[in-house]
Amino acid sequence: MRKRLVIANWKMNGSLALADEVLADFSAKSNVDVIVVPPSVYVSRLIESAEGSFDVGLQDVSQFENGAHTGDVSAAMVAELGATAVLVGHSERRGEHGESDATVAAKGLQVLAAGLMPVICVGESLAERESGKATARVRAQIEAQADCLRFGGEIAIAYEPIWAIGTGKSASALEAVAMLREIRGVLREVSAERADGIRILYGGSVNGENAAELFSHDEIEGVLVGGASLDTEQFAAIIRAADV
């Protein structure tokens, strides 16, 4: 089993004080890859002080290389700072900012071209799950990223069912594993050569209590953590659970 990846997505939460608290907590290294993804204004602060105990990522990036795009940040700028990963296609970006699969794909390609790792987020809504369309939805979202998947460079996929995000109701480990296997199958169809190099993560109400059960399954190669990543003790417990 390869090294697991635990990512903290602070979303639009946290503060400089939290950044300092997190830094104090991550001095110990574990056999887990950890990426902290704070709001972009805190990225430099975290990178300067992390001293390699963990990596730092961004929550979003422009789909364009550069130019007149007020408010956007390019992947090259992210790379210049020393961040290593960028979330693309989070359901909150897709939902609140109308990001289509095509936009997500363009962002993923920018991230890869800058030598960074895109964490491509996919996941179905509650209505899609209840009407038996979850698998088809997630398959389509992955297939739409074919150009990225074939591009080369490190990629992670995060399966985050929308109904499990911020609700306290995680998918069961078996529901997560079933979808992760499905995703692995689509990756192999899209790029047999690259599929097995891609880590597939689960996200949605992961916390210090349910992490061990999730990580009892080898298919769960990491987690993308929202709310519980703001609590340094919870987040440390998740990292310990991943370290098996």
Among positions 181-220, residues that touch ligand 13P (CB under 6 A) are 203-206
Q: Considering 124, 128, 160, 221, which one is annotated as catalytic?
A: 160
Task: Quote the least distance from Cβ 13 to ligand 13P, whole Å.
Answer: 10
Closer by beta carbon to ligand 13P, 90 or else 184 = 90
Task: Quote the least distance from Cβ 54 to ligand 13P, whole Å.
Answer: 16
85 binds ligand 13P (CB under 6 A): no
CA 120 to CA 155: how far, in whole Å?
8
Query: Is there a catalytic annotation at residue 160?
Result: yes
207 contacts 228 by C-beta, under 8 angstroms: yes
9 binds ligand 13P (CB under 6 A): yes
6 binds ligand 13P (CB under 6 A): no
213: exposed, middle or buried (C-beta count within 10 Å: 0-12, 13-18, 19+)? middle
Query: Is there a catalytic annotation at residue 221?
Result: no
Residue with tokens 């979202």: 141
227 binds ligand 13P (CB under 6 A): yes
Residue with tokens 């997500």: 104
Q: Considering 90, 92, 99, 124, which one is annotated as catalytic?
A: 90
Closer by beta carbon to ligand 13P, 3 or else 169 = 169
Q: How far apart are the first and last CA of the chain?
A: 10
Binding site for ligand 13P (CB under 6 A): 9, 90, 160, 165-166, 203-206, 224-228
